[in-house]
Every structure is written in structure tokens, then in C-alpha cells.
Structure 1
Amino acid sequence: MTPSVVLVTGVSGFLGGHLAARLAANPDIERVLGVDTVPPPRDLLRRMGRAEFVRADIRNPLIAKVISQASVDTVVHASLSANPGNSGNRAATKEMNVIGTMQLLAACQKAPTVRRVVLKSTTVVYGASPRDPALFDETMMPKELPSGGYAKDAAEIEGYLRGFARRRPDVSVTVLRFANFIGPRIDSIFTRYFALPVVPTVLGYDARVQLLHEEDALAVLERAASHDIPGTFNVAADGVLMLSQAIRRAGRLTLPVPQMAVGPVGRLFRSARIVDFSPEQMRLLNFGRVVDNGRLRRQFGFTPRWTTTQAFDDYVRGTALHRVVPSERIAQVERGVLTAARALR
């Protein structure tokens, strides 16, 4: 059933803002409210069309007034963030993620008009460890529970949502666990990471990387907001890239860092505001993580348009990354290595 009034959180960000724009373009939806603490960029605000921007903080109980007065029936919580830059520091990020979600769900619980809640979650809830299975499905738990950071935020938030679903069984609840986003327009930890001229990796490891194109992410969020499809779904593209393959496709240089130096290097990049290497991101670069998207196809009814490799290549083309090492030079080195290997036989 098409919703009448939709509220989207986090509209100053890429996903929230563009989702609000897509929903506003649907004539069957009567009203779209976009909520955030700061206004979206001017060009994004124009794209949002008839969507109404409401400057509000979901950590404040007054969000309940916004929901009740507008008779909101569908809430898409898209503001869960791993990036401290969005809110200043890690403490503020945790407060926005966890306390903000608690207040938002409390407001939804009190509002009799709310019939659907969609959560933009993350595959980070599965963790990353050397004991992980080849594929995580939605029924699996992490081998090591997250002790802090974004991963712990996401796990707590999903727990709060399960509690909300028990208290309001009349509300349809959808949890979307997204893989890392990539694409020519979105600004994410991975797009910044692969844009570095010299990309640090963990010495002795070559993680499997599974990604999701920004357009597929938007399409999944739009479908979840527009259709009643309850459940938990892994949202990731088909296929994987080895980290070394991705770095090569981006034309970057690799900087292998010994395990003991990973922490200091991560703090250095974070303090310079280049890339935020959180502990869960560093573990991902160690061990990788791949999820099964079968339920997304069968029950949710969505097949990603881009594979992991296609999404990554579209990011490289769209951002016009200049190769640090020309492809001809790479091919020349490879030929030299193969020639030397044959000579040793």
C-alpha cells in the first residue's frame, strides 16, 4: 500500500536527501517531510521539489509533535551515520545515532497513525574476524560482538527497533543492512579511502570487499518506503573484489602497514581529516566481509543493477580518478614478473 505521509530523517546527507526527492516525485504520496538538524545543500534542496524540510533534532522529544501533527504513517530512518564529521566527534555521533533513534521510536510508538518504519542499518553488525563464514545471512550473529563505535551503535539500534516491533505489532518494520556504499556522487569512507594517492593496507592481508552502488541503495530505500515488505534484508551487490584488485583498478599505490602500526596510522589520517579509519573499518580491511543477498531478491523483490566490480568501476569513471601509476606501467611490471617466474621453473 502506497503511504500517504512519509517522514525521512537525515535529509542533509546524500541518501536521505535523494530519497526524499524520489518520494516527492511520486504523485501517489500526499506529503513528504525531510528532517535534519541542518538544511540540505542548496542543489539537493532544489532536487527535493515539493518535499518539506523540517529543521528538527530527532534527539529532542519534540520530534513526536512533528510526527503527530503531520499524521505521518511511514518513517524512514536514514540518518544512521558512521562519519564523525557529520556531527563533530564520535561522542556526538553516538548520541545522534543511539539517543536519536530511541527518541524517534518513542515518538513512533505514541503516534497511532504510524504504520511503517524503515531502518537504514549496516552489514557492520556482523563484525569482521578471521573466524567469519564465507557468507553472512540475516539469521547469523557476529563471531565477536562489537565493543564500541559505529558497529555497536548499529547493533543497539536494531535491538531498540525489535523492542519497538514487540510493543507495536501493528507497525510493519523493515531493516536494511547495507554494504559499503560506492559511486560517483556519494561521499563515504570508501570513496575517500580509494581516492587516496597512496592507499594504506594491512601487511599480509588481502580482504574481500563487497560494495553497493549508490543508485541501488536509493532504489532499495524507495521500494521499502513505498511497499509493505517487513523483515531484515542484506543489501549488497553480487560478487566481490579483493582489496588489492580494487586499489589497482583505481590506479592507486598500495602502502602495506604492519599490524602494530595500523592504529597510529589510522589516528594520523583521522586527525588530518582525510579518512576516518574507525576500528571496525580497520578490521574490515583485515578480514573483509561478504553477505548473502538471496533474501533481498526472493522476498524483497529487488536485484541490484550493478555488481561490486561494476559499481567500483563506475565510481572510478565518475570521479575521474587520475592514475598514480599508468596502466601501461603496471602491465609492463606484470610481464616482467611473469617472465622471471618462468625462468625460475
Structure 2
Amino acid sequence: MDRDNQTRVTEFLLLGLSGQSEQEEILSGLFLWMYLVTIIGNFLIILAITCDSQLHTPMYFFLATLSCVDICSSSVTIPKILVNRILGSRSISYAECMTQMYFFITFTNMDGFLLSVMAYDRYVAICSPLHYRMIMRPKLCVLLVAVSWLITNLNALLHTLLIVQLTFCSNNTLHHFFCDPYSILKLSCSDTFINDLVVFTEGGLIFLTPFTCITVSYAYIFSQVLKFPSIQGIRKALSTCGSHLTVVSLFYGAILGVYMHPSSSYSIQDIVATVIFTVVTPLVNPFIYSLRNRDMQRALGKLILQRLVLLRS
């Protein structure tokens, strides 16, 4: 492979969501609002869990980690959209594009792994409540998160290094609002067989493993719930899983809509689905978990009240 040919492309052009200037201005304002709400909402979740000792449990540890990942995930794509809009530019340098793609892969996969860990936590809480404290020890919780970080970073590094080896010629226009790896592969003028093979095998395994864990965990949960003698017990068990199931459905539903079907080019449906799991999901996660969780409502109310008292004094 001629390494010098790769320097023909020093930047990529992001066409954005619609490609039309007036619509892009409205969408940029919407994205700015969504980004601010995402940062504030998830930061409040982290702060409430950190400050309230009653929330120092495995479930809320994983929730705080998910909020941290959601903040990082939104920060990978949205700020670049806003900066380009302010500067009146559509370009992103080659190095910035590869960096953005690396962190996009990392945080997207990390979301999936965290959702699977949280599903396992709910499984232990419902199916083995007497052994919950013994099984979900702090060391195990930290280990699960650390292993998830390691796997997702190694996965992102593998895909990024493989794409860096590709040659990009004259076509540098991405019909997207960020450097999506799927779109970048289509721009390459060199053979992408190895990349496609790794995406199909290793990438598929990284995607299916947490999805399978979530499915198996909830299969056991529902089979256990059906054995409960009272309707009230069933409702209580399902209420602890409702928020998590909503987030899982939103996240994996959007990803399946984008990456699990063959397509020669991105359609508006693909763009909308991508916006859902890159922008909307991190935005709604704090609301889903706080609105359906009394402990979180109490902690957030207590936190806001304390800050108001401090401001008045």
C-alpha cells in the first residue's frame, strides 16, 4: 500500500443533518439546548449519588458511571457541530476525525456494557436478594466497570488503527454530522475487506455480548417474577427494572435501526436513529431514572435545597 497516498485527504467535510443552511441553524440551536440539558442533568445525577450516603449502592454506582459516560458521549459529537456552525465551516481535520471516531466507538460500546452490568445487578437483586450484598461487593462492581473500560478502549483502538491504514483519495465528504466509522469506510479508495471482516466478527461480538447478557438476565428476572405470590410483589419487582428497560429499548432499538441492515448510503431514517442513541439517549437518561425512582427524587430534592440554602446565606 502506498502510504503517501493517504496524505491526499487532510480533512473531511461533514454535511450535517440536513445539508441545508437554514435547517442546520435551527438544529444547531436545538443541539445546543439538548447538550446543556444533558450535561446538567447527568451532572446532577452524579452529584446526588456522590453526596447522598444512602445511594452508595451498586445500582447507583453503575448509574453514576452511566451518567459520566453519557456526558462524555455527548461531548464527542455535539461541540464540534456547534463550533463548525459558529465558524461557518463543515470541515474536520483527519486527526480530529480519527480521534472523534475512537471516542465515539469507546463510549457507545461502554453504554452497552454498562447496561448489561446494570441488568446483571437487577438480576441478582431480584433472583438472589439474600445473597445480594455478598455477590455485588464493591470490588466486583469496580472490576466490572474497569473490565468494561478496558474492552471498549481496546476495541476502539483496533478499529481506529485499521482505518488509519486505509487510503483516502479525492472524496472526503461525509454525509453525516460526525465521523461515523461506517461512513468513513465507504470513503476509502483502498480494499476494506479486513476492516469489514473485523467489524462483522469482533465488532459483532462486542455488540452482541452485552445485548445477550441483558436478554438472559431479564429472561431469568421475568421467570422469577412470575413465581411471586402477590400482584404487589410483581409490580415492585418490575418497577425496579422499568427505567433500565426503557433505556435499553431506546439505545439498542436505535443502534439496530442503523447498523443491523445493509445500506449503500445513509438515509434520513439512519440519521434520526443515530441522533437518538448519540444525543437523545444521554439526554433522557437522567429524566427516566429520576422520574421513576423515589430515592433519586429525594436525593435530587435534598441536593437542590442545600444549594438554595447556601446561595441565600
| Larger relative contact order, structure 1 or 2 (CA cutoff 8 Å, min sep 6) | 2
